[in-house]
């Protein structure tokens, strides 16, 4: 029954190595016959392996191994680790499949990238940059998003901001503000509105998810309050010049459905020395025609207003507003003051011209 034990022993280590490295007992039998001129049955090889403590593969394991033993392990590891190829691409190179390549990497203690890491490594998606924002910039963005943008947690890595506007100046403001932080788009939709979207790193901008809460965060204080207010005005506020009998007045308004937040803003303004009033601007269920479309208010809508002329003049220089239309109103106010104009008739034409300029840009929808 085969070779005597004494003549088989010198080849045991070689047989073990061949088997562990993927050869079947039949292939080992052929190898010994061709290379060593030894004729021995696969049954005896199997028995000898068992006696050496080697686990013999079952049929399913043998079939799986037959499909992968031709694969060059070192080359696969190099392609994956050093060249960054995906499992799919490596599998195609060697006419195999992802699961097999994955198994080879695992067996060799190679970390297998998750889907996101794989997509980044092949350039399918770009990893978003992380940012350490100043408290002033955070406060401005918090007010801007809280006013008229919707923050959405798109994934564990991405925060999406979205809004619609008919004002090209606002679309430009959003582009200039957010494009340095991540991908941004502002395209005209079928309703002839700009649909503005920004995709930001969630870790850096997660604080914006709190912008729709009923309270101001505790990190907004007297050092960055006016940055927050500027963002709020740019997004959902107004700087106005209105007729008062034969004269005129200046006003700053903050709008919103969030009554508790507006109350907090009112308290913060009072602490800074600015008196304001609040009233309900629109009622729940009220219908308005806006930009030739019917719009219905789902909630009561409020306005918080700074109405004393000297207080408006005092606070405006402290507000780092960025919205072009509102900067134009601010500049006009200080131009009027510099020229010492007092009556409505002296400023009416200038104000009408500015309003028409803004209206024409909105109607033409160009950026």
Contact of 239 with 326, CB cutoff 8 Å: yes
pLDDT for 105: 84
Q: Which one of 29, 54, 69 terminates a domain?
A: 69
Reported pTM: 0.69
- Are 50 and 17 members of one domain? yes
The verdict on residue 25 lying in a domain is: yes
- Work out the pLDDT band at 232, boundaries 50, 70, 90: very high
Contact of 270 with 276, CB cutoff 8 Å: yes
The verdict on residue 26 lying in a domain is: yes
| Total number of domains in the chain | 4
The mean predicted confidence, pLDDT, of the chain is 86
Q: What is the mean pLDDT of residues 63-71?
A: 67
Count of CA atoms in the C-beta half-sphere (13 A) of 60: 0
- Are 258 and 335 members of one domain? yes
- Are 108 and 167 members of one domain? no
Query: Residue 155 is encoded by which pair of tokens?
Result: 């994934």
pLDDT for 219: 95
pLDDT for 349: 95
- Work out the pLDDT band at 1, boundaries 50, 70, 90: very low
The verdict on residue 290 lying in a domain is: no
- pLDDT at residue 237 above 70? yes
The verdict on residue 158 lying in a domain is: yes
Q: Which one of 188, 212, 236 terminates a domain?
A: 212
The verdict on residue 15 lying in a domain is: yes
d(CA 169, CA 175): 10
The verdict on residue 341 lying in a domain is: yes
Give the residue, 221 or 129, on which the prediction is more confident. 221
- Are 41 and 147 members of one domain? no
- pLDDT at residue 179 above 60? yes
- Are 247 and 318 members of one domain? yes
- Are 40 and 24 members of one domain? yes
- Are 255 and 351 members of one domain? yes
Other C-beta atoms lying within 10 Å of the C-beta of residue 6: 7
Three-state DSSP state, 299: coil
- Are 239 and 340 members of one domain? yes
The verdict on residue 281 lying in a domain is: no
pLDDT for 79: 87
pLDDT for 24: 75
Classify residue 136 by burial, with Cβ atoms within 10 Å: 0-12, 13-18, 19+. Answer: middle
- Are 235 and 329 members of one domain? yes
Q: Which residues of 309-319 are buried (b: 16+ CB within 10 A; e: fewer)?
A: bebbeebbeeb
Q: Which one of 187, 212, 237 terminates a domain?
A: 212
The verdict on residue 1 lying in a domain is: yes
- Are 236 and 267 members of one domain? yes
Residues 6+ apart with CB under 8 A from 62: 24
Query: Could you report the per-residue pLDDT of 274-289, keeping only the tens digit for each?
Result: 999 999 888 787 777 7
Q: Which residues of 75-103 are buried (b: 16+ CB within 10 A; e: fewer)?
A: ebeebbeeeebbbebbbeebebeeebbbe
- Nearest Cα to Cα of residue 319 among 364, 244, 253, 247: 253
CATH number for 336: 3.10.28.10
Q: Which of 18-27, 117-126, 296-305 has the lowest mean pLDDT?
A: 117-126
- Work out the pLDDT band at 290, boundaries 50, 70, 90: low
In percent, the amount of the chain with pLDDT more than 90 equals 48
- Are 230 and 351 members of one domain? yes
- Are 151 and 20 members of one domain? no
pLDDT for 92: 86
Q: Find the domain containing 329 and state its range.
A: 225-274+306-364
> In what helix (H) or strand (E) does residue 293 lie, and over which residues does it extend?
strand 293-296
Contact of 229 with 321, CB cutoff 8 Å: no
Greatest mean pLDDT among 13-27, 83-97, 102-116, 160-174 lies in 160-174
- pLDDT at residue 107 above 90? no
Give the residue, 85 or 168, on which the prediction is more confident. 168
């Amino acid at each position: 029954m085969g070779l005597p034990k004494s003549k088989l022993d010198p080849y045991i280590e070689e047989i073990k190595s061949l088997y562990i490295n993927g050869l079947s007992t039949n292939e080992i039998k052929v190898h010994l016959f061709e290379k060593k001129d030894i004729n021995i049955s696969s049954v005896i090889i199997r028995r000898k392996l068992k006696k050496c403590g080697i686990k013999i593969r079952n049929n399913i394991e043998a079939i799986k191994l037959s499909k992968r033993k031709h694969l060059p392990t070192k080359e696969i590891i190099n392609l994956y680790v050093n060249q960054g190829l995906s499992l799919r691409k490596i599998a195609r190179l060697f006419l195999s499949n992802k699961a097999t390549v994955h198994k080879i990497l695992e067996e060799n203690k190679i970390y297998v990238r998750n889907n996101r890491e794989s997509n980044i490594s092949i350039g399918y998606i770009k990893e978003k940059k992380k940012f350490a924002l100043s408290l002033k910039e955070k406060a401005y963005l918090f007010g801007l998003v809280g006013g008229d943008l919707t923050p959405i947690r798109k994934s564990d890595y991405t925060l999406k901001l979205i809004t619609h506007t008919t004002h090209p100046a606002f679309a430009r403001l959003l582009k200039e503000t957010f494009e340095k932080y991540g991908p941004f788009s502002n395209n005209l939709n079928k309703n002839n509105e700009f649909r503005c979207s920004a995709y930001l790193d969630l870790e850096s901008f997660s604080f914006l998810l709190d912008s729709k809460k009923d309270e101001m965060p505790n990190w907004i204080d007297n050092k960055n309050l006016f940055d927050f207010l500027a963002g709020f005005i740019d997004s959902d506020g107004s700087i106005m010049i209105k007729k008062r009998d034969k004269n005129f007045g200046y006003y700053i308004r903050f709008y919103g459905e969030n009554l508790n937040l507006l109350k907090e803003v009112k308290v913060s303004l009072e602490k800074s020395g600015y008196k304001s009033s609040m009233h309900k601007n629109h009622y729940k269920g009220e219908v308005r025609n806006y930009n030739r479309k019917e719009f219905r208010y789902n909630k009561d809508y409020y306005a918080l207003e700074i109405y004393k002329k000297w207080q408006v003049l005092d606070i405006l220089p402290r507000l780092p507003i960025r919205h072009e239309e509102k900067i134009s109103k601010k500049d006009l106010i200080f131009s009027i003051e510099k020229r010492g104009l007092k009556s409505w008739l002296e400023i009416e034409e200038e104000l009408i011209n500015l309003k028409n300029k803004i209206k024409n840009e909105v109607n033409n929808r160009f950026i």
